[in-house]
Amino acid sequence: MTLPKTSNEPGRVVIVTGCDHGLGADIVHELHQNPGLIIYATCLTQDAVQTYNAQDSTRLRAVLTDVTKQSDVDRLQAQIEEECPQGVYALLNNAGIIGGNYIDLTEIETYQKSIEVNYLGVIRITKALLPSLRRHAQARALDKLNRKTPLQPRARVVGISSIAGQYCAPGYSSYSASKHATEAFLDTLRIELAPWEIDVCMLEPFSIQTPMMAKGVDQFNAIWQGASPNTRRMYGDAFRQSNVDQAEKTFREAMPTILAVQTIVRTIQDPKGARKDRIVVASRLNRVIFWFLTMIPAWLLDKLTWMAMRKNLAWASDPHLFEDAKTR
* pLDDT tens digits along 245-298: 988 988 888 888 899 999 999 999 998 888 889 999 988 898 999 999 999 999
Tell me which range, 96-110, 242-256, 310-324, is most confidently predicted by mean pLDDT: 96-110
Three-state DSSP class for 203?
strand
**Cα torsion angle, 42, 47, 50, 54, sign:** negative
Q: Is the pLDDT of residue 6 over 50?
A: no
Distance CA 261, CA 208 (A): 10
Mean pLDDT of 144-161: 93
Residues 6+ apart with CB under 8 A from 291: none
The mean pLDDT of 42-46, rounded to a whole number, is: 97
Cα within 13 Å of Cα(183), Cβ side: 19
Q: Residue 327: pLDDT band by 50, 70, 90 thresholds?
A: very low
Where does CATH 3.40.50.720 sit in the chain? 12-208+255-282
Instruction: Give the separation between CA 175 and CA 62, rounded to whole angstroms.
Output: 27
Pick the CATH number of 12-208+255-282 from 3.40.50.720, 1.20.1250.20, 3.40.50.1980, 3.40.50.10490: 3.40.50.720
Say how many residues make up the chain.
328
What is the Cα–Cα distance from 92 to 136, expressed in whole angstroms? 15
User: Which whole-number Å values give the CA distances from 146 to 143, 155, 221, in the listed order?
Assistant: 5, 18, 62
121 pLDDT more than 90: yes
Amino acid sitting at position 191? I
Q: Which helix (H) or strand (E) holds 210?
A: none
Which pLDDT value is given to residue 3? 38
* Whether the predicted pLDDT of 328 surpasses 80: no
